[in-house]
Each structure stands twice: as C-alpha cells, then as structure tokens.
Chains A and B, each alone.
Chain A
Amino acid sequence: MEWAMQVDKQIRTETGAEPETGAETGPRGPGCSLRHFACEQNLLSRPDGSASFLQGDTSVLAGVYGPAEVKVSKEIFNKATLEVLLRPKIGLPGVAEKSREWLIRNTCEAVVLGALHPRTSITVVLQVISDAGSLLACCLNAACMALVDAGVPMRALFCGVTCALDADGNLVLDPTAKQEKEARAVLTFALDSVEQKLLMSTTKGLYSNAELQQCLAAAQATSQHIFRFYRESLQRRYSKT
C-alpha cells in the first residue's frame, strides 16, 4: 500500500515542461493530459467513408471502402472480409506497418458486425500524414471515425490510447515522439465504448504488473474523453447548423 501511495504522489506531482516540436509550444502541463484533438470526416470524395484524425502533431488520414465487391479468393461465405492497409509517409510499407495493420485489423474485426454483410469486403486504408508520437492510437481513432462515416455497422466504437512510462515510472498519456523515445515502456490499448473493455494491447519495454494495471486504468479514464470527443464531433456533424 505504501508503495502505491508513492506512485500516486509521483503522478500528482509530475510536471513535464518539455520542449515540443512544431506548433506545440509552451509547457503541456502535467503528463496526464491529452494533446489537442481534431477530426474531420467525409473529406475525400472517392472512398465511402473517410476521416482525418489529429492528435497534436500526429495526423492520420483514413479511407474506408465497404461493404463492397470482394475478390473470389478472399471471399468468406458467412462474413465480410476485413482488410486494413497502412501506408507510411516515406518509402514502402515494411514489417512495422504490416504488424500495425494486423493489430488494427484485429481490433476492427472485434467490433465490426461483418456477419451482416457476408461475401463482401470492407477495406480500411490508412495514410500516415505526420508522426509525432502515439501513431498507433491515432491510426485506431482515424479508422474508427472513418468506419462511422462509411456507416459500417459496428457493435461498439473503439479508440486507441497510448501510455508511456518514463524512467522514473511516471505515467504519460498520449506521448509525443520525444517522450516515446525517452520512455522506459510504451503501452498502446484499444478500448470499446460500451464497457471500456480491452480490445487490443501492444507494449514495448519493461514494466511491472502494477504499472500495467495503472496504465490500463488510465487508458480507461482517457477513453471516456475520446468517446466524448467522438460523440460531440458526430453531434456537430449531424446538426443542422
């Protein structure tokens, strides 16, 4: 218990006034805050649904096609074939992109009601516009908003949250690229909107059992904010003004 109190104090007293890149000048306050968020839906004319999601300087553009015609070789007789493509900004997609694609695909698979559209394809194309930390979380958020824009039936919404643990064990939410680099561990979670249950988690670095639970609890708290952001942005979108 004593140890827990210590950690608690650390989180409270933390003040991370780190120099930011680009537009994010000035101190960001305590590590437990999100960068500014922005989202624009339906900005591309060709895909069925599209969204661009910005978290601070990190920006991802997503386009969704579907439910659409599927190649016979990829056809699944009782559900939709879900495909996720992640395009890096520089060069050709490599192993890192493939692994991220797979993580995003599995997350989408968990929430998309593919059984309603058997023998069709749902394709999510993600394009990295700029990477300034928490890229996977931003990709997940962009994918979700694009799926919503395309009107693909889903069991729940999902969001991505990245937590970083720095050398002193302080928790940093939505880390920048610099914070991610300096961190001891970086954990990314995907959570659903109904019960804030975990859909996907991927971690890098060393952390203890307690720290994992802390990060998860923090991610759950953060997800509430993100889902509120989703709701407000959709409310605005379907409003008359």
Chain B
Amino acid sequence: MKETPLSNCERRFLLRAIEEKKRLDGRQTYDYRTIKISFGTDYGCCIVELGKTRVLGQVSCELVSPKLNRATEGILFFNLELSQMAAPAFEPGRQSDLLVKLNRLLERCLRNSKCIDTESLCVVAGEKVWQIRVDLHLLNHDGNIIDAASIAAIVALCHFRRPDVSVQGDEVTLYTPEERDPVPLSIHHMPICVSFAFFQQGTYLLVDPNEREERVMDGLLVIAMNKHREICTIQSSGGIMLLKDQVLRCSKIAGVKVAEITELIQRALENDQKVRKEGGKFGFAESIANQRITAFKMEKAPIDTSNVAEKAEEIIAEAEPPSEVVSNPVLWTPGTAQIGEGIENSWGDLEDSEKEEEEEGGSDEAIILDSIKMDTGVEISNIGSQDAPIVLSDSEEEEMIILEPDKNLKKIRMQTSIAKQEKVPSKKPMKKRKKKRAVN
C-alpha cells in the first residue's frame, strides 16, 4: 500500500503552526511525548511507547566462535525491523533507505559507543563467545522511530540476563535458569538518541517530532548522549546547514532530555526487578490498563470436559466404518506401485500418452510422405527415416509441390528441398518437439 501524501494545505497549516510556536498535540517546543516502558515475562523483552510510536525490543544470546581479528570479544548484533503493522507503506522483506539509515544509526549509537563490555562476553578466547542479538520491531509508526528504538534497545539490554557458564579445562558448561541465576550484561553507560527537527532552513526547532512534523521538516539532527553528557553519535541529515551555536544548543537540550529518560528507564527497571523479587505479577498482561474500555480480562476459566469422552464415542459410533483397503501393493509400471483402491497413478499414464502422441505424429507425417511419393515418384531413400518427414510436412515448398502441375519442376524442387533437409536435420526436429510441448 502506498503512503497517503500530505496535502499542500496540511503542510502549510503545520508550518504556520510551527512558526507560531504551536504544536498540534499541544506540546511545547522542547517537550517529549509521554514515554511508557513495559516488560514482558522473558528477560530482555520490553515495549517502549513514545506517544503513539511503539517499539518491541527483544534480546537473545547464543554461543558462537568469535571473529578472527577479535578473539576475545563478544559479538553485538542489532536488527531493527519496520513491520507493515507500523505503517502501510512499509513493505515486508524490503530494505528501504530509511531502514538502512536507522539500523546504521543504532549500531553507531550502541555498538560503536562501547556501552556494552564485549570482553566480558568472552567464554573461551578464540573459541567461544556470546553473540548478543537485539531485535527491535516497530509496531506503530508515529514519528521519531530512532529515539524509541534506541530507548527500547538499551532497556532490553539492561533487562536481559544471559545463562551462566563455567569453564573447566576444555569443557564449557551452560547452566539453566533453575540451576544458576542468569547473569546481567555489564553495561558501562546508556546512550540515548534525541532527535531535533528543523524547519524553514533551521529557523525553527522541535524536539521529538511526530509523524506529521517529520513529513514537513527540512532537516533532522540526532544526538546520542549518555547521562554523563558524553556525546556518542551525532548525525545531521536532510541537508540543512546548521550554525555552531545551534548544535551546541541542541546538545545542551539533549543533555537534559537524556538525564530525564535515563532516570525513567532506571525507575522502570527497578520496578520490574522489585515485582519479580516479591513474586508478584509481571508481564504484558499487567501493563494493560484495566480502566480502558477497549481492554478486557478474563481469569482462568475451568472447562467442563466430563462429557467429552461420551461425545467422541457417539461420533465414532455414528460414523461409517472406514472402507476395506487392499493391503497388497499393485505394480503398474516398473518403479511405481499403488496401495489401496485409489485413483490410478497418473505418472505412468502421462509418459504413455506422450509416447503415443509422438508415435501418432510420426505416422501422420509418414502418410503425408507416402502421398507425396505417389504423386511425384521421387526416391527419398537417402533421407533419414525420422527427420525427413517432419520437415517435409512443415516446409512451404511441399504445398507447392502438390499444387504444381508440371512433373519436371516438381522433381527439381523436391530435390532442392531434400538437399536443404540434409543440411539442417539436427535443428528442425528440436523445434518441432518444442512446439509440441507448448501445445501440450
């Protein structure tokens, strides 16, 4: 499905509103939309909602052999998916420019900033390391994917616990969660992306643009920063020229926003940990608000299955007994067999009919040839028995032979045609066969 284009009047309206320092959702220039973080029952699973933008994050791990040039380092892998659920314009299985850009930015923000201690993921140097895979699925697109995705990625990584391993000599033992408590990843800092949208060649600036605002913006500046105010990545796209002051101002704003978001993440993580420790209810079922009328819950429901056996007995009793089957296999053609009274195997049939057809075709042409022979009395003994008649029936000259009254002429023509046939016999029959297939 195609994206619905933004009409000119909508565009003008949005730009005008921005000029008047107003946003359609009632936010101020530097306001973020509300961020909601909820965790799943598995470790390393979270959903981050940034306004209406929703991202699902899931971290998984696997023991693999390390890269040759990095023998003592674990592998980090990021994969952001733009599901069609998020917006109708996202096509499944296609790497769009936007997707490549977002994935690259995420990698730069999280892998290249060395926020995860990859050395601690090494089990046996040069042989076994942990590969940490971060899958991010965009569930609903309402602008600012990168901020939501970066929050989801870091939250999922913080929440994740990998199974404990021990090395004794050459043996690597993997412990299940029951045997030993899984261990969290060691995370040095939490880089978070903050997006700034610029309008009218950088005159106006908005934090956390929504989908509509993203469509009318001139340029985007993404700053990834941690709470220590260290810039991890900075990217400007859209081709706007920014002044040094603007970038500095943005980085100041980013510092404030990152501090706020980091605190929120930590609170959410602590909350989840507390609930898990106390043995309370957790998971996505708990994050559904009860007061919403669109949501509904049902407690465990016992199902009365006492009469199931009787019912089944009844149905079986009513059902007709299965028909008798022939148990000894029937051999139709060598290599094929049939058990029971089914439909005759059509495989053998097909081959037979093809053969018959070929034979028929051959004989037809032979008949034509015969009639020609009778008409003209030309000796065709030197012609290959199979190839010649096929060509004869096809050639235009043959028709002329029949129509021509003069016998001498016929002879000459016939001979020329025969000479031709002798030259090309290898090609023509092939064509003929192809034609046959097409007809079939």
Q: Is B301 among interface residues, defined by CB-CB distance under 8 A?
A: yes
A241's closest neighbor in chain B, by CB?
A: B293
A114 to B41, CA, bound (A): 38
Contact between chains at B88 and A7 (CB < 8 Å): no
Q: Is B299 among interface residues, defined by CB-CB distance under 8 A?
A: yes
Q: Is A32 among interface residues, defined by CB-CB distance under 8 A?
A: yes
With A210-B312, A210-B313 already in contact, the answer to whether A36 and B298 are too (CB < 8 A) is yes
A15 to B87, CA, bound (A): 46
- Of B56, B284, B298, B309, most buried by chain A (CB within 10 Å of CB) is B309
Contact between chains at A221 and B139 (CB < 8 Å): no
What residues on A are CB-neighbors of B87 within 8 Å?
A: 46
Contact between chains at A45 and B140 (CB < 8 Å): yes
- Of A46, A132, A236, most buried by chain B (CB within 10 Å of CB) is A46
Give 30 pairs: A residue, B residue, CB < 8 Å, sorted on A. Answer: A1-B313, A8-B308, A12-B306, A22-B41, A22-B42, A22-B283, A35-B300, A36-B297, A36-B298, A36-B299, A36-B300, A38-B295, A38-B297, A45-B140, A46-B140, A47-B88, A57-B283, A65-B88, A89-B137, A90-B58, A127-B85, A132-B41, A209-B316, A213-B316, A214-B308, A214-B311, A217-B307, A217-B312, A217-B315, A239-B293
Q: Within the complex, which residue of B47, B285, B302, B307 is in contact with A54, where a contact is CB–CB below 8 Å?
A: B285
Contact between chains at A68 and B282 (CB < 8 Å): no
Contact between chains at A21 and B41 (CB < 8 Å): yes
With A23-B286, A46-B87 already in contact, the answer to whether A59 and B40 are too (CB < 8 A) is yes
Q: Within the complex, which residue of B139, B142, B294, B309 is in contact with A8, where a contact is CB–CB below 8 Å?
A: B309
Contact between chains at B294 and A41 (CB < 8 Å): yes
Residue positions of A touching B, CB distance < 8 A? 1, 4-5, 7-8, 11-12, 21-23, 25, 28-30, 32-47, 50, 52, 54, 57, 59, 61, 63, 65, 68-69, 85, 87, 89-91, 121, 123, 125, 127, 129-130, 132, 171, 173, 209-211, 213-214, 216-218, 221-222, 225, 229, 232-233, 236-237, 239, 241
With contacts defined as CB atoms under 8 Å apart, how many contacts are there between chain A and chain B in the complex? Answer: 205
Contact between chains at A4 and B294 (CB < 8 Å): no
Interface residues on B, range: 35 or more
Contact between chains at B85 and A29 (CB < 8 Å): no
Contact between chains at B316 and A46 (CB < 8 Å): no
A127 to B92, CA, bound (A): 13
What residues on A are CB-neighbors of B310 within 8 Å?
A: 4, 8
Q: Within the complex, which residue of A38, A87, A221 is in contact with B304, where a contact is CB–CB below 8 Å?
A: A221
What residues on A are CB-neighbors of B2 within 8 Å?
A: 69
B92's closest neighbor in chain A, by CB?
A: A85
Top 10 A-B pairs ranked by shortest CB distance? A22-B41, A233-B296, A213-B312, A63-B85, A217-B311, A125-B85, A214-B312, A40-B295, A8-B309, A37-B298
What residues on B are CB-neighbors of A69 within 8 Å?
A: 1-2
Contact between chains at A229 and B296 (CB < 8 Å): yes
Q: Is B52 among interface residues, defined by CB-CB distance under 8 A?
A: yes
- For the residues of A in contact with B, the DSSP-based class is mixed
With A12-B306, A221-B305 already in contact, the answer to whether A123 and B300 are too (CB < 8 A) is no
Query: B191 CB to closest chain A CB, in angstroms?
Result: 23
What residues on A are CB-neighbors of B312 within 8 Å?
A: 4, 210-211, 213-214, 216-217
Q: Is B81 among interface residues, defined by CB-CB distance under 8 A?
A: yes
A237 to B56, CA, bound (A): 25
Q: Is B390 among interface residues, defined by CB-CB distance under 8 A?
A: no
Contact between chains at B45 and A130 (CB < 8 Å): yes
With A8-B310, A125-B85, A129-B40 already in contact, the answer to whether A44 and B139 are too (CB < 8 A) is yes
Q: Within the complex, which residue of B88, B133, B282 is in contact with A90, where a contact is CB–CB below 8 Å?
A: B133
- Of B52, B60, B304, most buried by chain A (CB within 10 Å of CB) is B304
A91's closest neighbor in chain B, by CB?
A: B135
